[in-house]
A and B are shown apart, each in its own frame.
Chain A
Amino acid sequence: MSGSSSADGGRASSDRIGPAAFVRRAMGGTPGMVVFLATLVILGALWRIDFLLNDSVTVANVVTNVADGRLAVTEAPYALTAGEQPGLVEVDGVLYGRNYGQAYLAVPILWVLDATAGVVDLRLLLAAGWSFAVLGLGRSVGRLLDRPVVARIGEAACLFAFAASLLVATDVDWLTRPRPLVALGLSTLLLAATAATVCYRLVSWAQGRRVGFASGLALAVATPVGFWGSFPKRHVLSATALLLVVYWFAVSRTGSDRRAIAARAGAYAVVGFLASVHAFEAAFALAVLAPLDLLTAPTNDRRALGAVAVAFGVSLLPMVATNLAISGQPLQPPRTLPGADGPLAPGQAAIDQGAIGRPAGVVGDAGLPLGSGDIPGRPAGAGLLSPVAALLDRVVWVGTYMGDQFVAGVAAATDLDRLYHVLVRSGWIPSVRYHLSDYETLETAMLEVLPLAGALLALPGVALAHLREGARFERLRAGLADPVRQTDLFVGALAVTLFLAYLPRLPLYAMFTLRYVLPVMPLLLYAVARMPPVRSAAASAPRTLGGTWGVTVAVVGGGFVCTLAVLGLARGEVIQFLALSGLVTALALAAATATRPIHERDQVMATALGVAAGTTTVFVLATGLLVYADGNHALDLVRLVVARLPAVG
């Protein structure tokens, strides 16, 4: 990577014409392409065309209907009854779903898939797409390393993968209409790859390309984003959106030219679109973004604020139009409708329905941490208020609700037992309703599935060392004028706000990897990458970092398969085995980081980081291949490999 920056920059400037060069520039150069394609290849191999949680059934049905040009769920290929679709609401006798923004992203992909249905086989189309990703990855890595032989290997691998897929191809016939779910899965996969690339660009901007490259790859394979990237849940979309908000916030701090203003407007536009997926997540993001943006922006002139207002207003249109069509109120999303509190509600109703009619591993979703169960939804057009007054009333109500949630989050943060089970160790958590997951301990804590965050345990010590080196209060205050420090502040505020907003709901069943706070995890990764011992190790000892990661994946992964074969672990035991492995490596990383001033060796830090990252990769691989899989992988080649591995008991 050392020479890649200039080399790549030279190429980028010399081949600006053409879509390939445009895409490469959007990705942040060849390293960004590598991050994007590597994520697609790895998570594509883990991708299962199935449901992990039954509220995804609702969204898949929404995709089906939106593609046919209607918001109402009149066709439901993935459920026989309304009761199997948590989140479905009834308005004037018509059923509607939720997360329409997520569906809007998947529908164009579905149109393409439908257009090819009469020409090519779906399974082979997926195999071809994955093979092309392998081809592109080989070419990008060859370009990055300046070794054409790697590109040739990628081409050979592409041909081999597709040819082998031709020989063993099977139908996707466990679903009567697979394409809407495939489109939803593909959109999630592409979002995960986008998140990794944005992470690369963000950390590169703050720390340089080496650290950025490592962070981008780590987001894909060493955080739970890798777990959720291969299932069609909204959390990856939220995580990607918030990373994009942070990145554009960061870029917009660096000047007041057209590019900076566009980035600033883009940050608001992403928040606006996120509102069509989960309005309250977007509202919390806006509550953090708006004040910090106004306080730290290089300029708040009319041109900049006008661009922000226009971008935000336009980006709200998907949510406003959807809400108006369904509830008649622009700020009343389906998940807050009164009907959501009824028997079709995703809250208590979903809990009671449990895993009805779903394959093993599919459990009911407590649904909306900020949803209908808590919100006294109002009938559309309630009262005699004018539309403007009703809108203002709604805004006040949303603000009050957010304030209440935040206060509840702060109170929950004083509950040490709760914090222990959410952040440190899961095991058998007394408050969790395990009968809804067949008594399997599938829930995990933050450090167990994100051991890289273990470095943050040493943050007080690192901060103290920083102060001893001369970082006095005056310097810190002056530092806040620095765009990187401003971004640090924004990331910290956003992470704390989102975590506290969800904390009162946690720990909870069907979270798997604390999925409600998945958008916080990339922010924590950014914070880890910003720590001086980490960035120094990633920048000066990348071979040790990568090598240790590879060895860890091989050793821990091999050890896991052997343990599974010998002990015959059940599903909950597998998760806890992997969780304990993650926790141990998190504590080792914390120790290495805390003692950095003593050992003063980047190699030690790089080793600890590699081990922590590798352990999460094993978690992502084990869960993707064995634990939450049932012969439903998108790629036949993967299905054949998995059939030869020991089964989870």
Chain B
Amino acid sequence: MAWRPGTGALVVATVFVALVLAGPAWGTPTGVGGGTATVSVVSPAALAGADAPGDDSLTLRTTPGRFGTEATYLRIPDLVVDVREQSGRPQLIADLSVDADGIDPPPVSRILHRSGTHRLAYPDAALPPRGYDHGGTAVEPGTYDGHLEVRVQSFDGDHVVVNRSVEVVVGR
């Protein structure tokens, strides 16, 4: 009986042909490259008018962990930005520093590959409960100074979007 390709064989052949025709370098880069973007903060509201003088500082507070987590969390709100005049692959990067040993949230970033609204999620920073003695650094309750910087970076330049003092309140 003569061999007849089924639809499955045709599908496989089609994918193979497309795979080879696409070649070894089809995918687009994901990392930061050249380019630029005009960025304005939409949320949180305290940062929305960041360029205006005399704005109130942003206050971040700790709240207890939930669902059996005894850690305390410094809740850092997501940053929502409006991106205009985007070109290339610039990077939006946010860096929160706090003048307290034991609170050291890592910077977060994302590539701005299109205009429109972007959300930059900042992971909450967990702090140990009182009495934790296995290591690390405990943070005493109190108010600490902090600093938030949001920038747009690319191989073509570096632009500051937010450069603000932040008040960090660590509760009991």
**Contact residues of A with B, CB < 8 Å?**
117-125, 128, 131-132, 135, 139, 151-152, 155, 158-159, 162-163, 166, 169-174, 360, 425-428, 432-436, 438-441, 567-573, 576-577, 579-580, 631, 647-649
Contact = CB atoms under 8 A, between A and B. Distances in A.
A572 B106 CA distance: 17
B127 interface: yes
A158 B15 contact: yes
A441 B128 CA distance: 11
B15 A159 contact: yes
Contacts of B135: 433, 435-436
Given A170-B30, A435-B132, A576-B69, 18 more contacts: A118-B24, A121-B23, A124-B22, A124-B26, A155-B11, A159-B15, A166-B22, A173-B29, A174-B31, A435-B135, A436-B135, A439-B126, A440-B69, A441-B65, A441-B71, A569-B67, A573-B67, A573-B73
A265 B31 CA distance: 51
A155 B68 CA distance: 46
B8 A117 contact: no
A199 to B, nearest CB: 27
Nearest to A125: B19
Contact of B68 (A121, A568, A569, A576): A576
B18 interface: yes
B4 interface: no
A352 to B, nearest CB: 9
Given A173-B31, A567-B66, A569-B66, A647 B78 contact: yes
Given A135-B11, A155-B8, A170 B29 contact: yes
A577 B15 contact: no
A152 B7 contact: yes
B27 interface: yes
Contact of B12 (A125, A132, A172): A132
Contact of B67 (A124, A432, A580): A580
A119 B20 contact: yes
Interface stretch (B38-46, B52-60, B91-99, B117-125): B117-125
Contacts of A163: 18
B71 A124 contact: no
29 contacts: A120-B19, A120-B22, A121-B24, A121-B25, A122-B27, A124-B26, A135-B11, A152-B7, A158-B15, A169-B27, A171-B29, A173-B29, A173-B31, A426-B68, A428-B129, A435-B135, A439-B126, A441-B70, A441-B71, A570-B73, A572-B65, A572-B69, A573-B66, A573-B67, A576-B68, A579-B67, A579-B68, A647-B119, A647-B121
A569 B123 CA distance: 9
A649 B75 contact: yes
A439 B128 contact: yes
Contacts of A631: 30
Contacts of A649: 73, 75-76, 121-124
A120 B28 contact: no
Contact of B123 (A135, A172, A441, A648): A648
Contacts of B70: 427-428, 441
Given A119-B24, A155-B8, A433-B134, A572 B15 contact: no
B157 interface: no
Given A135-B12, A433-B134, A434-B132, A439 B71 contact: yes
Give the residue among A122, A439, A569, A579 with the most B Cβ atoms within 10 A: A439
Contacts of B128: 434-435, 439
Interface residues of B, number: 46
B5 interface: no
A123 B65 contact: no
Contacts of A434: 71, 128, 132, 134, 136
A428 B22 contact: no
B18 A570 contact: no
Contacts of B78: 647
A428 B28 CA distance: 43
B20 A120 contact: yes
A517 B155 CA distance: 47
Contact of A120 (B23, B119, B127, B134): B23
Contact of A577 (B67, B124, B125): B67
A564 to B, nearest CB: 11
User: Which of A166, A360, A427 gathers most chain B CB within 10 Å?
Assistant: A166
B15 A428 contact: no
A134 to B, nearest CB: 10
Contacts of B65: 441, 570, 572-573
A135 B16 CA distance: 14
A163 B84 CA distance: 30
Given A155-B8, A174-B31, A132 B15 contact: yes
A576 B69 CA distance: 7
Contacts of A162: 15, 18
User: Nearest 7 CB-CB pairs, A to B?
Assistant: A435-B136, A647-B121, A427-B68, A439-B126, A428-B70, A576-B67, A121-B26
Given A434-B71, A571-B123, A170 B28 contact: yes
Q: Which of A170, A174, A425, A438 has the most CB of B within 10 A?
A: A438
A131 B119 contact: no
Nearest to B131: A430
A363 to B, nearest CB: 13
Nearest to A577: B67
Nearest to B129: A428
Contacts of B20: 119-120
Contacts of A440: 69, 71, 126
Contacts of A135: 8, 11-12
Residue of A132, A155, A570, A576 most packed against chain B (CB within 10 A): A570
A123 B27 CA distance: 7
Nearest to B11: A155
Most buried by A among B27, B119, B125: B27
Contacts of A155: 7-8, 11
Contact of B19 (A124, A151, A172, A360): A124
Given A174-B31, A570-B123, A123 B26 contact: yes
Nearest to A427: B68
A16 B8 CA distance: 20
Contacts of A436: 135
Nearest to A131: B15
A182 to B, nearest CB: 13
B69 A428 contact: yes
Nearest to B113: A170
A118 B20 CA distance: 10
Nearest to A426: B68
A95 B129 CA distance: 40
Contacts of B119: 647
A572 B126 contact: yes
A119 B26 CA distance: 11
B98 to A, nearest CB: 15
Nearest to B128: A439
A570 B66 CA distance: 9
A121 B27 contact: yes
